[in-house]
Homo-oligomer: A and B are copies of this chain.
Amino acid sequence: MVTDQTRLMVDSIKRLLRRNAYPNLKNIVSKTHAADLSIVFGSLASPEQSTLFNMIEEPANKGLLLKELEEDIFLGLVSNIPLEEVVNIFKIMPSDDVAELVNKLPEDTANTILKKMRIEDSQQVAGLLSFADKTAGRIMITDYIALADYTTAKQAIESLQKEHCDVEMPFYLYVVDDYEILVGVISLRQLVVVPPDTPLKKFMVTDVFSVSTDTDQEEVAKIVARYDILAVPVVDSGNRLVGIITVDDVIDIFRSEATKDILKMAGAGEEYVETKSVLKSTRIRLPWLFASCVGGIIAVTVIGSYESALSQLAFLAAFIPVIMGMGGNIGTQSSTIVVRGLATGRLNYNEVWIVVSKELCIGLILGLIYGAFIATVAQFRYDSSMLALSVGLSLISSMTIAALVGSLVPMIMARINIDPAVATGPFVTTAIDIVSVFFYFSIATYLLGI
């Protein structure tokens, strides 16, 4: 297990830090992958973090670590490093990573750093930052290999050896015409298997998947996943190649999008906030509970209006939880299936009636089954067939409506371009709660004649 190994590493690093065993620490630090070191940093106090950071010799490795750190730790660490050193580290990092980090810094620090970088580097970073958040333009890498279509395979290999040694992941070579317009793609593999004198245009693939700078990052990720490609080129409005997005970034996009959807559906914020601050977490979660609170107050009013019925037949109250709970749970099932189906492309928002009518059927069947079950319980416990009938009918209507609302709301949201995951939060459940309670008391007072 990765976690156990990391734990061991944290323990031994802490021990070595206490003993000031610098040569041993240096040895561990130089052998540990930045992704693992970043986890160790999460368990260290701020001065220890600085000590460890200064032990990393290569600025490139310092950069890799900065990229992996959680935002809080990154900001704390950077405030303890001379600005000159930060600039030197940023200078040799890929521009998309620098853009991501600069974006996290306070504005004045960010500007000072950009000013101190070489003009062409800082222009690249500022260029990326000019695109909207979560678009292809913002997350693309500008270090890619683009060659003219008349280049030969041999020349291409030579240019790989000489000029493009710093490119992150050179598995595809992109082919452009005289106007920098993307015309083809070649895999590194094809390059070594053709005769050396063949010009690229003779064997390039011309049917290239590409995205535009303003394509949403989730859309980019879906394209890469759908066609099993390792990188997708990004083109500007004039079809000129301006960057690429690689598969490792796509994995990160999928994971963070899945996290976002999960949190939204539970009404627990939009991003996974890694923070030790209780107050910050409380602030994020407070508003999401408000919907449920307002719903609860409406339920107080609804049930309050049946007060006289309740004082005659107090046992009516006993079935409120089961009717609300079953409705809420089947509603969550329906909306979860729809939201995830839309996110993964298994459902299409045009199929609204197919999806909703299926959910309606499922709600009805499950309502009939559990309605009959709970009605039997009511009959045995209170020996009143009218109560049993009321409870049964309420459960059926509550579960059917819940399945309907739970599937319809996210489908409509997707259709009108609102994120369906938000709809599945406390809002749907709360609406279902109120409707369920209202139906239950209407049916029961009518049937029991109170």
Q: A15 within 8 Å of B by Cβ?
A: no
Q: A98 within 8 Å of B by Cβ?
A: no
**With A226-B2, A304-B315, A307-B315 as given contacts, are A320 and B320 in contact (CB-CB < 8 Å)?**
yes
Whole-angstrom distance between the alpha carbons of A52 and B66 in the complex? 52
Whole-angstrom distance between the alpha carbons of A424 and B243 in the complex? 42
Q: Which B residues are in CB contact (< 8 Å) with A255?
A: 225, 254, 258, 344
**CB-based contact B311/A314 at 8 Å:** yes
Whole-angstrom distance between the alpha carbons of A36 and B279 in the complex? 47
Q: A59 within 8 Å of B by Cβ?
A: no
Q: Chain B residue with minimal CB distance to A209?
A: B33
Q: Which B residues are in CB contact (< 8 Å) with A344?
A: 255, 259, 272
**CB-based contact A230/B254 at 8 Å:** no
Q: A300 within 8 Å of B by Cβ?
A: yes
**CB-based contact B262/A292 at 8 Å:** no
Q: Which B residues are in CB contact (< 8 Å) with A188?
A: 171, 188-189, 192
Q: Chain B residue with minimal CB distance to A425?
A: B329
Measured between C-beta atoms, what is the minimum distance from A96 to chain B in Å? 13
Whole-angstrom distance between the alpha carbons of A286 and B284 in the complex? 34
**CB-based contact A300/B381 at 8 Å:** yes
Q: Which B residues are in CB contact (< 8 Å) with A222?
A: 2
Measured between C-beta atoms, what is the minimum distance from A123 to chain B in Å? 26
Q: A418 within 8 Å of B by Cβ?
A: no
Measured between C-beta atoms, what is the minimum distance from A271 to chain B in Å? 11
**CB-based contact B365/A333 at 8 Å:** no
Q: Chain B residue with minimal CB distance to A291?
A: B329
Q: A92 within 8 Å of B by Cβ?
A: no
**CB-based contact B300/A318 at 8 Å:** yes
Name the contact of A227 in the complex, choosing from B33, B308, B377 (C-beta under 8 A).
B33
Q: Which B residues are in CB contact (< 8 Å) with A310?
A: 310, 314-315, 317
Decide if the interface of chain A is mainly helix, strand, loop or mixed. helix
Q: Which B residues are in CB contact (< 8 Å) with A297?
A: 322, 374, 377
Q: Which B residues are in CB contact (< 8 Å) with A18?
A: none
Measured between C-beta atoms, what is the minimum distance from A65 to chain B in Å? 14
**With A251-B225, A251-B247 as given contacts, are A193 and B161 in contact (CB-CB < 8 Å)?**
yes
Contact with B along A64-83 (1 / 0, CB 8 A): 00000000000000000000
Contact with B along A213-257 (1 / 0, CB 8 A): 000000100111111101000000000000000011011101100
Q: A181 within 8 Å of B by Cβ?
A: no
Q: Which B residues are in CB contact (< 8 Å) with A250?
A: 251
Measured between C-beta atoms, what is the minimum distance from A197 to chain B in Å? 15
**A interface with B by C-beta (< 8 Å):** 1-3, 6-7, 33, 35-36, 39, 157, 160-161, 165, 169-171, 188-189, 191-193, 219, 222-228, 230, 247-248, 250-252, 254-255, 258-259, 261-263, 265-268, 272, 274, 276, 278-279, 281-282, 285-286, 288-289, 292-293, 295-297, 299-301, 303-304, 307-308, 310-312, 314-326, 328-330, 332-333, 335-337, 340-341, 344-346, 348-350, 358, 361-362, 365-366, 369-370, 373-374, 377-378, 381, 426, 429-430, 433, 437
29 contacts between A and B (CB under 8 A): A2-B223, A3-B348, A3-B350, A35-B226, A36-B226, A170-B189, A225-B248, A228-B248, A259-B340, A263-B340, A265-B266, A266-B333, A267-B329, A267-B333, A272-B340, A272-B341, A274-B346, A278-B361, A282-B365, A285-B362, A288-B333, A295-B322, A301-B318, A303-B318, A303-B320, A314-B317, A317-B320, A325-B433, A329-B426
Closest 4 CB pairs between A and B? A296-B322, A310-B314, A266-B336, A317-B317
